[in-house]
Amino acid sequence: MYGSEKFSLIGYVKYLSRYKFLIEQLVSRDFKTKYKRSVLGVFWSFLNPLLMMCVQYAVFSKLIMRGGGIEHYAMYLLTGIVIFNGFNDCCNQSMRAVVGNSSLITKVYVPKFIYPASKVCSASVNMLLAMIPLLIVAVINKLWPCLPWLLIPVGLAMMIIFTMGMGLLLSSLMVFFRDIEFLWGVMSMVWMYGTPIIYSMDLLPEILQKVEIFNPLYHYITFIRTLVIGRAWPDWQQYAWCLGFAAVMFAVGAFVFHKTEDKFIFYI
């Protein structure tokens, strides 16, 4: 990255398009590795969120006051699971991207951000596949397709930009501090239970509701729930929060990655 484009999303998109073939090969390799010797293969992208929803629904729909009084609780739960799992999968894969491709980095020159970007792309494909059963379950629950559903790609795109920034940050930190992998495992678990996925925002004390406003995943999940379950257009504040978190996280991740990438060779 050079000049004014070095922290620019447009600049990254240009570089991604320039190395489109390499990214396609890396994504293809990730898929083959992930589903190697798997009987169901890519169908796990459909089954995994559905199985998690069934287990958590069976447990929490009774314990949390029959879903906390949440209408369409199964859909409420499934939406949160799909979005959070997609985010977490992107972060887990991109975090190891630089370290895991050390042999390529030391032999072939390509912009190093290509490696975490390719991981986010492959994990995002899994998340998009998981959206298919989510929408099918929505129809089964008589939440018929409507015009607001057309904005689902917009909500996912904002979250993926946020996740790209998180992936760039984690992948660069992982090079210097291998403990990041273990710390992230704990942090992601805390983040999951701290996000209204299995419970409603109303169940939290007022002070925690105020804190939750600064949880990016709460806003991305709420954005998708508004479209799919509420079948309504998000208000301007939802757009502002989602875009704001995406812009800030991408800028931070790109800045840290750019400042540290020249030192990667000494630590991988």
Give tens-digit pLDDT for 8-55.
Answer: 667 677 777 777 777 777 777 776 676 666 555 556 666 677 777 777
**9 in any annotated domain:** no
Centroid of chain to Cα 6: 23
Nearest to 155 by CA among 226, 88, 212, 214: 226
Q: Please say whether the beta carbons of 127 and 55 come within 8 A.
A: no
Domain count, the chain: 1
**24 in any annotated domain:** no
**177 in any annotated domain:** yes
**22 in any annotated domain:** no
Q: Please state the pTM of the whole predicted model.
A: 0.86
Q: Please say whether the beta carbons of 233 and 151 come within 8 A.
A: yes
**255 in any annotated domain:** yes
Q: Give CB contacts under 8 A, 24+ apart, made by 107-110.
A: 110/19, 110/22
Q: Please write the tens of the pLDDT for every residue from 127-155.
A: 888 888 888 889 888 899 999 999 999 99
- The domain of 131 spans 41-262
**6 in any annotated domain:** no
**18 in any annotated domain:** no
User: Which residues, at least 6 apart from 4, have a Cβ–Cβ distance to it below 8 Å?
Assistant: 11
The stretch 90-103 carries a mean pLDDT of: 88
Question: Per the structure block, which two tokens stand in for 221?
Answer: 């999940």
**138 in any annotated domain:** yes
